[in-house]
Amino acid sequence: MSLLIWTPAALSSELRAVSGRFWRLVEAQHQISTLKIVDTLEEQALLETLLEESKPALPPECIGLDYLLATPFRYGAVYPHGSRFRRAGRTLGVFYASEKVETALAEMAFYRLLFFADSPATPLPANAAEYAAFAASIESGAALDLTLPPLDQDRAVWTDRLRYEPCQSLADAAREVGCQAILYESVRDPQRGRNIALLTAAAFAAREPVERQTWRIRLSAAGVQALCDFPKIRIGFARADFADDPRIVSG
C-alpha cells in the first residue's frame, strides 16, 4: 500500500491500543515568571487567574486538566508555524511527547540549537537553563503506529526532516476515523526513540502529570549537555548528532 491510498477507510483498520507514560519538556521559567512582579503568593494566584481568563478557551475535554497537559489544545490560538502533525493557522491542537525522557531531551536539544542556527548573531547563553520534564499518562484504543507494518513502509515520508505536509495530511485523515494518537519515530533522537502526537486531550489517563524531573540544559559550541540530579542522569548531544538536518549544518 502506498502513501497515496492512506485514506480514512484504509487507516481505520490500522487503529490499535496504546498506553504508557510519555515525556515532554518545558522551560521551568513558567513556574516563577509571575512571582517576580508580585509581593505575595496570594497576589501571584490572582495574577495567574487573570492571565488564564485572558487566554483562548479550552475545549470541553480539557476542563480540569493541568495546564501543562491542556495548553496545546486551546481554541482560537493561532499556530504560527506548522509542525509534523499540525498545520499552521487556527488548527486543532496536538500534544507532542516522547516515550523516553532521553528522546524528549534530544528533541529539545535540537530545537535549541536550531534557534541559534537561525539567529547566528545571537550569542549562546552563558549559563545553563532550567527545564521541567513531566510525564503524562496516556491511554487510548484508537492509535496509529507509524513504526509498525504496514504503515512503516512509508517510513521515508514520515521521517522527512523538513517536509511535514504528508504527516499533516495523515493526521487530517486520522481524525476523520476517530484516531486519538499517532506514534512515530523521532528523527532528532540519535537512538530513534518513539514520539507520540496526541490529537485529543480525551486520551489522557490522568488529569495531571504523573512524574516530574528538573533538568539543566547547557548549550555550547560542541553541542548540548543535559543534567538531572534526581535521578542522577547526564546526557550529552554533539552537534554531529543532528548533522543530517541541513539547518543545523548551516548554522
What is the DSSP annotation of 44-82? HHHHHHHHHHHSPPPPGGGTT--HHHHGGG-TT--B-S-
**Domain assignment of residue 205, given as a range:** 3-29+96-250
pLDDT for position 120 = 86
Of the candidates 193, 168, 189, 167, the residue with the CA atom closest to the CA atom of residue 244? 189
Could you report the per-residue pLDDT of 103-129, keeping only the tens digit for each? 999 999 999 999 999 888 899 999 999
* Number of domains the chain is built from: 1
The DSSP output letter for 206 is: S
Residues 238 and 222 sit within 8 Å (Cβ to Cβ): yes
**Residue at 51 is within a domain:** no
- For the chain, percent of residues with pLDDT exceeding 70: 86
Residues in the chain: 251
pLDDT for position 39 = 64
- As a whole number of angstroms, the distance between CA 32 and CA 34 comes to 6
* 237 pLDDT tier (thresholds 50, 70, 90): very high
Between the alpha carbon of residue 177 and those of residues 138, 171, 173, the distances in Å are 19, 10, 7
* 1 pLDDT tier (thresholds 50, 70, 90): very low
> Average pLDDT in the 222-250 region?
91
**Residue at 242 is within a domain:** yes
pLDDT for position 32 = 55
pLDDT for position 251 = 45
Q: Which long-range contacts (CB under 8 A, 24 or more apart) does 117-126 make?
A: 117/247, 117/248, 117/250, 117/251, 118/247, 118/251, 120/251, 124/219, 124/220, 124/221, 125/218, 125/219
Q: Residue 231: is the preceding peptide bond cis (ω within 30°)? A: yes
> Average pLDDT in the 188-212 region?
97
pLDDT for position 35 = 56
**Residue at 90 is within a domain:** no
For the beta carbon of residue 47, count every other beta carbon within 10 angstroms: 14
**Residue at 136 is within a domain:** yes
**Residue at 77 is within a domain:** no
pLDDT for position 247 = 87
Confidence check: pLDDT of 175 > 60: yes
Could you report the per-residue pLDDT of 50-61, keeping only the tens digit for each? 555 555 677 889
* 210 pLDDT tier (thresholds 50, 70, 90): very high
**Residue at 44 is within a domain:** no
> Average pLDDT in the 203-217 region?
97
Could you report the per-residue pLDDT of 68-110, keeping only the tens digit for each? 999 999 877 788 899 999 999 999 999 999 999 999 999 999 9
pLDDT for position 74 = 84
* Reported pTM: 0.89
**Residue at 209 is within a domain:** yes
The position carrying cell 534530544 is 106
Confidence check: pLDDT of 34 > 80: no
pLDDT for position 37 = 62
